[in-house]
Amino acid sequence: MKTIISAKKMNIPQAFDDYAKERLDSRLSKFFGDDADAKIVISEARGQIVVELTVRYNNIIYRSEKSAVDKNDALDAAIDKIIRQIRKNKTRVEKKLKENAFAAPYAEDVEEQYDFEVVKHKKFTMRPMDVDEAILQMNLLGHSFFMFSNAQTGSTNVVYKRTDGNYAVLEPEV
């Protein structure tokens, strides 16, 4: 597994770098092959260490964000969250994961079947607008996200409100 570790406004000791690579390899290698990409971003917020872990494998992105007083604990919690995501969606993702990913010790786990129920379909006209106008429209509607046609690029984008209170834009790669 290829691992990239970065930090925002703090230094990463070599010991953590080694610990993170060893933990990712030992805990997640049974699910992903060697061509998986893992990215760890460490930052500090409100006196705690925040670890954002993103794993890309076979065009599926697994992401978790956890905080703790110790960066090792935060990393372990983030890895646990990704493992829970994989287990929860086992039947949907097992075709995309490495063969035998669910062999022991998880073979005895009870498989939970989740059926997603779509309760509403909505069609609307998208008119071209800039990002600021899309954020304004989203806030006026009281939604946490808003899909719009970007006036500058002509592509369909999504703007959403992040848990930290800031905004982000999803743009398709061309």
Q: What is the pLDDT of residues 60-114, one digit of tens each?
A: 788 899 999 999 999 999 999 988 887 777 666 666 665 666 655 544 444 555 6
Share of the chain above pLDDT 70, in %: 86
At the top level of CATH, the class of 2-93 is alpha beta
Distance CA 37, CA 45 (A): 26
Q: What is the mean pLDDT of residues 139-158?
A: 91
In angstroms, what is the C-alpha Rg of the chain?
Answer: 19
Sketch the domain layout of the chain as residue ranges: 2-93, 128-170
Average pLDDT score over the chain: 85
- What pLDDT score was predicted for residue 161? 93
pTM value is 0.62
Name the CATH architecture for the domain at 128-170: 2-Layer Sandwich (3.30)
Q: Is 99 helix (H, G, I), strand (E, B) or coil?
A: coil
What is the structure's pLDDT at 110?
47
Tokens 């994989």 locate to 86
Instruction: Tell me 9's DSSP state.
Output: S
